[in-house]
Structure 1
Amino acid sequence: MHIYLVTGTTSGIGLELAKQLLKTGNIVYGFARRENDIEHDNYHHILLDLSETLKLTDTMKTIIQHATNEATSFTLINNAGTIDPIGMVGEIDSELVAKSIAVNLTAPMILTGAFINALEGQTIPKKVMQISSGAGRKPYEGWSSYCAGKAGLDRFTEAVNVEESKKQYGARIVSIAPGIIDTNMQGKIRQSTESEFPLVDRFKEYKSAGDLSSPSEVAEKLIKLMESDQFYKVEVISDLRNL
């Protein structure tokens, strides 16, 4: 069985990834702070706040130990993220800054490390997909924490790729920016004031013009990439819209 571990499965891309992966007979472990509506024998929901980073390593290792005997491959998808805090540096809450970095960067780093450690030496395919953002590759006023977290995630992924590529049975790891998607995060962005986020009107226009991709469409493309040979050929830092 192919085992998928997906963070942020309450809504958006994460929920769609879980649902679509289950339809094709995979086993999915979903990490989220809240419950979702998935009821499936192959779905295991782990209630976990990713900002509580000290719990992540043991959780990951326990899941992999439990699932190893039936696994023909393991894939970790670090999808969960937060746009908060939105606002100018000097005006945003320091606790929200710390939580942003914990969710967008620290948690994926720890989960990736625990995943690699727990599967060290195993010959089955091991894949890690980080869901990044164009904001990690281009600065946006009002999104300093989010930009920093996603930029860090890209650099972390590049460094880990160098390490894993030197191993005989290393994991394949990529960081994918999925584009602009109609999720709860986009709704929160549109609720920003212009003083917090000067480009808010542009993002409102994306919605009104129908320029946002659906979570279902994006999840389908991500799964197609992960299940194809192209996953081993794409650039470590990629944009889904260019694939």
Structure 2
Amino acid sequence: MKTYIITGTTSGIGLELVNQLLEAGHTVYGIARKENDIDHPQYHHVLLDLTETSKLADTVKEIIKEVSPEASSYTLINNAGTIDPIGMVGEIDGELIAKSIAVNLTAPMVLTGAFIHALAAIDMPKKVVQISSGAGRNALDGWSSYCAGKAGLDRFTEAAQLEESNKRNGVRLVSIAPGIIDTSMQQTIRQSSTSAFPSVERFKEYKASGQLSNAKDVAKKLIGFIESEQFYKVDVLTDLRNL
């Protein structure tokens, strides 16, 4: 029985990942700041806001302690993210910038570190998947906080993988950009003003012309990738659309 820990499990890819993994017979621990409607004996929901970074390490520690001894592998998927604040540098609120970095970068770093530490003595497949973004690899005006968080997540993952590759029983880490998906985040983007996000019309066109990927399909492809041998062979920074 494989065990998955996933953040942001109330909507979008996170919710689809949970549903499909449960259907496949795996155990899932979901971490989110809101409740969801999943009622399944192998799903465990942890109500926690990722901006409360001081609580994250202990949360992972407690989850690992609860996992069945029958577990055959462990996977952490840092899926949760926020696009806010959208706006020009010098015009966006400092507290919102701090919250953005907490959710998009600090939380995944802390959760990944706690995951690695808690499983250091366990000899079985251990994986960390960071849900990154093309915005971390190509800057967009109006998205400075989001771009910074995702770029930082990519560099962190590369550094952590260098460390883990030197261990006999290290964790395998991949930071993967899933493409543009039809989620609530895209709705938020399309509601932006042109002054805050000059590329907003392009994102409206993505929706109008049917260029957005379906969250269910993306989750299915992501699971297939995580459970394949390809997961161990790709570059640390990967784009799901190229697999």
If the TM-score is normalised by the length of the shorter chain, which range does it land in?
over 0.9
> Following the alignment from structure 1 to structure 2, what is the Cα–Cα distance between the partners of residues 218 and 51?
26
Residue 136 of structure 2 is aligned to residue 133 of structure 1: no
Which residue number corresponds to residue 156 of structure 1? 156
Which residue number corresponds to residue 102 of structure 1? 102
> Following the alignment from structure 1 to structure 2, what is the Cα–Cα distance between the partners of residues 142 and 191?
13
> Following the alignment from structure 2 to structure 1, what is the Cα–Cα distance between the partners of residues 119 and 211?
40
> Following the alignment from structure 2 to structure 1, what is the Cα–Cα distance between the partners of residues 68 and 39?
23
Deviations 1:78-127 (A, max 9, x none): 00000000000110011100000000000000000000000002111000
- Name the amino acid aligned to 1:165: S
Structure 1 runs of 4+ aligned residues shifted over 3 Å read: none
Find the residue that maps to 2:102 and give its secondary structure: helix
Which residue number corresponds to residue 90 of structure 1? 90
Find the residue that maps to 1:170 and give its secondary structure: coil
Which residue number corresponds to residue 51 of structure 2? 51
Deviations 1:136-190 (A, max 9, x none): 0000000000000000000000000000000000000000000000000000000
Which residue number corresponds to residue 77 of structure 1? 77
> Following the alignment from structure 2 to structure 1, what is the Cα–Cα distance between the partners of residues 108 and 35?
20
> Following the alignment from structure 2 to structure 1, what is the Cα–Cα distance between the partners of residues 134 and 189?
15
> Following the alignment from structure 2 to structure 1, what is the Cα–Cα distance between the partners of residues 222 and 141?
29
Q: 1:69 Cα deviation (Å)? A: 1.7
Aligned-residue Cα RMSD (Å) equals: 0.6
Find the residue that maps to 1:238 and give its secondary structure: strand
- Residue correspondence of structure 1 range 18-29 to structure 2 within 5 A: 18-29=18-29
- Residue correspondence of structure 1 range 63-74 to structure 2 within 5 A: 63-67=63-67, 69-74=69-74
- Name the amino acid aligned to 2:182: D
Which residue number corresponds to residue 198 of structure 1? 198
> Following the alignment from structure 1 to structure 2, what is the Cα–Cα distance between the partners of residues 98 and 38?
31
Deviations 1:181-226 (A, max 9, x none): 0000000000000000000000000000000001101000000001
Find the residue that maps to 2:67 and give its secondary structure: helix
> Following the alignment from structure 2 to structure 1, what is the Cα–Cα distance between the partners of residues 105 and 168?
27
- Name the amino acid aligned to 1:233: K
TM-score by length of 2: 0.99
Residue 176 of structure 2 is aligned to residue 179 of structure 1: no
Deviations 1:25-72 (A, max 9, x none): 000000001011211110000001001100000000010011152311
The percentage of aligned residue pairs carrying the same residue is: 70
> Following the alignment from structure 2 to structure 1, what is the Cα–Cα distance between the partners of residues 51 and 68?
26
> Following the alignment from structure 1 to structure 2, what is the Cα–Cα distance between the partners of residues 70 and 89?
50
Residue 60 of structure 2 is aligned to residue 60 of structure 1: yes
> Following the alignment from structure 1 to structure 2, what is the Cα–Cα distance between the partners of residues 70 and 54?
30
> Following the alignment from structure 1 to structure 2, what is the Cα–Cα distance between the partners of residues 65 and 38?
22
> Following the alignment from structure 1 to structure 2, what is the Cα–Cα distance between the partners of residues 69 and 160?
27
> Following the alignment from structure 1 to structure 2, what is the Cα–Cα distance between the partners of residues 132 and 19?
21
Residue 208 of structure 2 is aligned to residue 222 of structure 1: no
Structure 1 unaligned segments of length 5 or more: list them.
Answer: none
> Following the alignment from structure 1 to structure 2, what is the Cα–Cα distance between the partners of residues 83 and 100?
7
- Residue correspondence of structure 1 range 159-170 to structure 2 within 5 A: 159-170=159-170
How many equivalent residue pairs? Answer: 243
Q: Larger deviation: 193-202 or 64-73?
A: 64-73
> Following the alignment from structure 1 to structure 2, what is the Cα–Cα distance between the partners of residues 163 and 10?
32
- Name the amino acid aligned to 1:33: R
- Name the amino acid aligned to 2:49: D
> Following the alignment from structure 2 to structure 1, what is the Cα–Cα distance between the partners of residues 114 and 98?
22
